[in-house]
Amino acid sequence: MSDVVTVFSPAKVNLHLAIGERRSDGYHGARSVMHALSLHDTLTVRRECVSGSDDFSVQVRCVAHEGVEPLEISSEDNIVYKALMKAADAFDRGRGETVDVVIDKHIPHAAGLGGGSSNAAAALLAACRLWGVDPESREVFDIAAGIGADVPFFLRGGCAVLGDRGDVFERELVPMKGALVLIRPNAGVSTAAAYRAFDEDPAPVSSSALENERNAQSAEDLQLFNNLASASERVLPELVRVREWLGAQQGVIKDERTGEPCVLLSGSGSATFCLCESMAAAYGIVSAAKLEGWWARSCTFVSAGARIMEKNSSVCATNLGASQRIW
């Protein structure tokens, strides 16, 4: 017997990231606002039952598209493998089964766009569908949180405020619409290296940034903010050039309160994004960025998280908007 599930796995950007000092537990306090994007990977998950065996095996293969660097790691090192193994253990499923996963990669890695975390969330949804588990159960969200700080966000999508270490859901914001451009230079930024640089020269969080995030009811209420960006720029100086180049492009929205271009590094990078006046403007910026030798994509903000793509339907089923809010 064979079952196949295809899952939409979106990217994200951080509209607001406020990093605090290192705590006694070794982590940094963080406040983050994430927003899902139309840029996405697709996971095709195929389950087969193997007679005469009690083993559970998982194989993961990545196929890179549109200039994304191939992710050359073993199945066992892929976060999707880890997600499926944790799910099988928690749900007591998988004996006598093999699961093959093909990830069509459009989200670059080491970019601050959450591709790996999104793939893990998508794998959990696929497991729930294949094994008849409620994707809204507390157990699924607990598994997600145990895999990575960003994974639970992708089970919901939209726009969310997270506190503690940037991993605890506090509230939803009304998602926004509109076009943006993502640019990644030909190198990534190690999150660990960015935090080391931050600890050497911490950038304070302004009271105005904290107040803006605290009072925001929608994504559009936020002023873009990231106090980790300067540390990442010290790790990868080319990010300064990307930021300055984007800020000088026609069609980039300017913040009506400050007059500054709406340009920001997402998380620790290395992807920088800008808000655009129109999709036509976004297309023009992408074309110009590619001439600079950078990976660049236009996309839009969306309200969906990871979701099952139903067969024979133009509509994707999703857990977004479900009545339960247990995250």
At residue 284, φ and ψ (nearest 5 deg) are -65, -40
Do the annotations mark residue 116 as ligand-binding? yes
Q: Which of 12, 82, 86, 105 is catalytic?
A: 12
Confirm whether 254 is a catalytic residue: no
Do the annotations mark residue 118 as ligand-binding? yes
Q: Are 107 and 118 in contact (CB under 8 A)?
A: yes
Confirm whether 12 is a catalytic residue: yes
The two structure tokens encoding residue 82: 């880890």
Alpha helices in 148-190 (DSSP H): 151-156
Do the annotations mark residue 317 as ligand-binding? no
Write the burial class of residue 9 (CB in 10 Å: 0-12 exposed, 13-18 middle, 19+ buried). buried
Closest by CA position to 16, among listed 154, 235, 214, 243: 214
Do the annotations mark residue 114 as ligand-binding? yes
Do the annotations mark residue 113 as ligand-binding? yes
Q: Which amino acid is at 253?
A: I
Q: Are 189 and 110 in contact (CB under 8 A)?
A: yes
Closest by CA position to 20, among listed 223, 166, 162, 215: 166
Question: CB count, 10 Å around CB of 324?
Answer: 11
Do the annotations mark residue 239 as ligand-binding? no
Closest by CA position to 7, among listed 40, 44, 59: 44
The two structure tokens encoding residue 48: 């087969």
SS3 262: coil
Q: Which of 41, 86, 105, 150 is catalytic?
A: 150
Which residues make up each annotated binding site for ATP? 108-118
Q: Which residues are annotated as a binding site?
A: 108-118
Return the active site residues: 12, 150
